[in-house]
Copies of this chain bind each other. A is one copy, B any other.
Amino acid sequence: MALKYYHAEPAANSLKSMIPLLEKRLPFESVYVDLHKFEQHADWFVAINPEGQVPVLDHDGNIITHTTVINEYLEDVFPEIPLRPRDPLGAARMRYWNKFVDEQVMNYTSMHGWHRMVGVIARNIESGEFDKLMERIPLPDQRRKWRTARSGFSETDLAYATDKVVYAIDKVETQLGKTPWLAGPDYTLADINFYSMCGMMVERMFPELQVASRCPRMVAWREKMNARPAVAKALAGENRTNPALRTFTGEAR
């Protein structure tokens, strides 16, 4: 049995499937893909994932992409240490939250991250070079996102994205008043998803939201997440982003 995990910095998508691998104590080969060098669009990587996106799980030569899909796959194949409730209703609650994060949260924290970090990177690339890089991106929407990051996302779009983030943290705060974890009594993939895509960085990224006073239960939940050995180990992974550019995780502004 051989697991290989292709990933970038320990944040967002790359973090989201790294945590389950570590929680489940699965031995795996870590393959760092350097987004700063656009390795995700290089021929060798696109041969592995034609969509040109990290992360990717290679299990005995089978390629799985998209973190929510990868994480369910890990539950199906390695159920010993479960991160998905074994009762169908619990699994449905977990999937409800995964869907919410995937569709209503991820793109919106991401937009601010791209605006702040990828925008700077994109603007530092000379035009001719930039166009050549764009040609190598397989997904049309991803090309659009790079071009928009370069010119800057509109104030309207950024304000809408902030509204979505506020809606999400309020919803999570309400839920954590009812259950200790997002999907019920147990820590699940839903917690890992929201943490990786929003919860870990939202306070740093949006100081104007006064997250600590607005969402005290979420902050306590985040600290519980931070304290998990698997999460701490994942966060300690390689990070080649210039510290001055770590705006995506709110470490820099």
Contact = CB atoms under 8 A, between A and B. Distances in A.
Nearest to A73: B92
A156 interface: no
A72 B92 contact: yes
Contact of A73 (B64, B76, B88): B88
Number of copies: 2
Range of interface residues on A (Cβ < 8 Å): 20 to 34
Interface string A135-164: 000001100000000000000000000010
Contact of A95 (B72, B96, B167): B72
Interface string A101-128: 0111000000000000000000000000
A77 interface: yes
Contact of A140 (B70, B91, B92, B167): B167
A68 interface: yes
Interface of A: 62, 64-66, 68-70, 72-73, 76-77, 88-89, 91-92, 95-96, 99, 102-104, 140-141, 163, 167
Closest 4 CB pairs of A and B: A76-B88, A73-B92, A69-B95, A77-B88
